[in-house]
């Protein structure tokens, strides 16, 4: 009997404790000392083009107190007219104000924030601010919001029908294809910035002149300047736009001091067996492509002081034509699933019909051709067709198992060799590491023709220049 009473007493005690706990959970504290905590005291958005909605940023709101609290007001100071928009517990509000939001003790909730900026009618970026107000038990707390808005010139499926120039006064945002008609020239002024929406690109049926300078380079890239996720910028994502496609077999083109990054393929250029377009690339960077960096078929390319890096397939796919590469860094550390795709692929015949010759001659002088595997050069040739190659003063990855006649004076290293400053993570850095085997190994008879590197640093300030686009 006593044991039954003891058990009954224990049960009643548990019921009282549970009941009291539930009552405590239901209790909303009005303690004026209670405050909220936040995952950040400021929420900032990188530069956004006016008229384009940002990605959504999450703000976590904590109630670190034991008792439940009621937030009597969550609102934007700018109200309905604010370019910022907030969302609380999956709900939106036209006037950007929410009342009586409760958080259990030792619990939290997420608040979503985005922004869409109106045109500011200025050439320069404009800083936009607002703040979110939280009112809890009479305590007011604020989270600061800011973004930078940049007006742009929008080109939507634009066709260049006369000789034209893109100026650097404002950035240009390109939707669809910017097409240069046959016989016409599009010139891009120094300092210009071209941003491309998804699937956008430039189709050149005429001529393209991209004329940046060391002081005022030109940028071509995807249009998102913000982050996909916290700490992960869109800038690290390849395949955001299509790239440049050169179709005229008789035109001449120049790319100088330009950075082209994050397209599907940076450059496609093609001619035929009798007509070869001419493209000169100097002091430029082609980086982070979802397919190829350069695909050239029966063209004439001169590429100097240029970095060509990180492609899902080949950095250079050369199929017929005439090529002269000097002081270039061609490096592929893209996380490739298909390791059969080499950094450099050279062919001297037509894919569709292997009996059609695409004669090729290519000279690489003081260039680095390197990557994450020990086999980054593929020479695919038909012996009866012209296949004239030379690699003078070059640093190459792997063991010298290819035709000796092509690689006189080349230096071979394994992929494990440290050549560059950073090949592991974004942002990559293809300047030379302190112990790089490229240092002081250039052919000076070639280096003397290119006295400064990609960054403007002198190659001739000491007795021996370095291989590649960068002087250490």
pLDDT tens-place string over residues 158-210: 999 999 999 999 999 999 999 999 999 999 999 999 999 999 999 999 999 99
Confidence of residue 283 (pLDDT cuts 50, 70, 90): very high
Instruction: Note the pTM of the prediction, 2 decimals.
Output: 0.85
Q: What does DSSP assign to residue 263? A: B
pLDDT confidence of residue 332: 96
Going by C-alpha positions, the residue among 210, 211, 234 that lies closest to residue 221 is 234
Interval 410-465: pLDDT, tens: 999 999 999 999 999 888 999 999 999 999 999 999 999 999 999 999 999 988 99
- Give the residue carrying structure tokens 């350069």: 294
Helix (H) or strand (E) holding 6: helix 2-26
First to last CA, the chain: 91
Residue extents of the structural domains in the chain = 37-149, 151-447
Mean pLDDT for the chain? 92
Q: What is the 8-class DSSP label of residue 241?
A: B
With left for phi above 0 and alpha for psi between -120 and 50, is residue 257 left, alpha or beta? left
Q: Which is higher by pLDDT, 1 or 271?
A: 271
pLDDT, one tens digit per residue, over 206-255 is 999 999 999 999 999 999 888 887 778 888 999 999 999 999 999 999 99
Bridge-partner residues for 364, per DSSP? 325, 391
Give the position of tokens 């899902």.
312
Give the CATH number of domain 37-149.
2.60.40.10
Q: In what order do the strands lie in the sheet with 126-136?
A: 42-49, 139-150, 126-136, 69-76, 97-103
């Amino acid at each position: 009997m006593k044991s039954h009473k003891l058990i009954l007493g224990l049960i009643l005690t548990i019921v009282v404790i549970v009941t009291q706990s539930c009552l405590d959970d239901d209790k909303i504290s009005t303690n004026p000392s209670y405050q909220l905590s936040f995952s950040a005291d400021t929420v900032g958005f990188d530069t956004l083009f006016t008229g384009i909605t940002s990605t959504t940023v999450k703000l976590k709101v904590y109630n670190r107190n034991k008792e439940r609290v009621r937030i009597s007001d969550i609102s934007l100071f700018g109200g309905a007219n604010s370019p910022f928009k907030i969302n609380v517990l999956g709900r939106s509000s036209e006037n950007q104000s929410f009342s009586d939001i409760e958080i259990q003790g030792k619990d939290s909730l997420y608040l979503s924030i985005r922004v869409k900026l109106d045109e500011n009618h200025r050439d320069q970026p404009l800083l936009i601010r607002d703040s979110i107000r939280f009112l809890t038990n009479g305590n007011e707390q604020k989270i600061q919001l800011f973004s930078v808005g940049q007006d742009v010139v929008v080109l939507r499926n634009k066709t260049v029908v006369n000789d034209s120039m893109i100026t650097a006064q404002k950035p240009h945002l390109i939707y669809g294809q910017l097409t240069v008609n046959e016989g016409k020239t599009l010139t891009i002024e120094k300092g210009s910035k071209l941003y491309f929406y998804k699937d956008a690109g430039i189709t050149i049926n005429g001529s393209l002149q991209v004329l940046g300078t060391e002081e005022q380079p030109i940028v071509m890239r995807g249009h998102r300047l913000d982050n996909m996720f916290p700490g992960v910028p869109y800038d690290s994502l390849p395949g955001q736009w299509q790239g440049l496609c050169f179709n005229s077999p008789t035109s001449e083109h120049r790319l100088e001091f330009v950075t082209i990054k994050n397209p599907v393929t940076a450059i496609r250029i093609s001619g035929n067996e009798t007509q070869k377009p001419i493209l000169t690339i100097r002091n430029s960077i082609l980086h982070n492509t979802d397919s190829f960096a350069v695909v050239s078929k029966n063209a004439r390319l001169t590429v100097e002081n240029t970095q060509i890096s990180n492609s899902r397939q080949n950095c250079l796919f050369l199929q017929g034509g005439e090529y002269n590469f000097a002081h270039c860094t061609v490096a592929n550390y893209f996380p490739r699933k298909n390791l059969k795709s080499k950094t450099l692929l050279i062919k001297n015949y037509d894919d569709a019909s292997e009996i059609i010759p695409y004669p090729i001659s290519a000279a690489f002088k003081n260039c680095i051709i390197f990557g994450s595997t020990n086999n980054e050069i593929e020479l695919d040739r038909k012996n009866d067709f012209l296949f004239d190659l030379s690699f003078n003063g070059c640093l190459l990855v792997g063991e010298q198992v290819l035709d000796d006649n092509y690689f006189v004076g080349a230096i071979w290293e394994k992929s494990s060799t440290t050549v560059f400053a950073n090949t592991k993570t974004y942002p990559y850095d293809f300047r030379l590491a302190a112990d790089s085997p490229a240092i002081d190994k250039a052919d000076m008879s070639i280096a003397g023709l290119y006295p400064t590197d990609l960054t403007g640093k002198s190659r001739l300030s000491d007795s021996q220049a370095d291989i590649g686009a960068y002087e250490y």
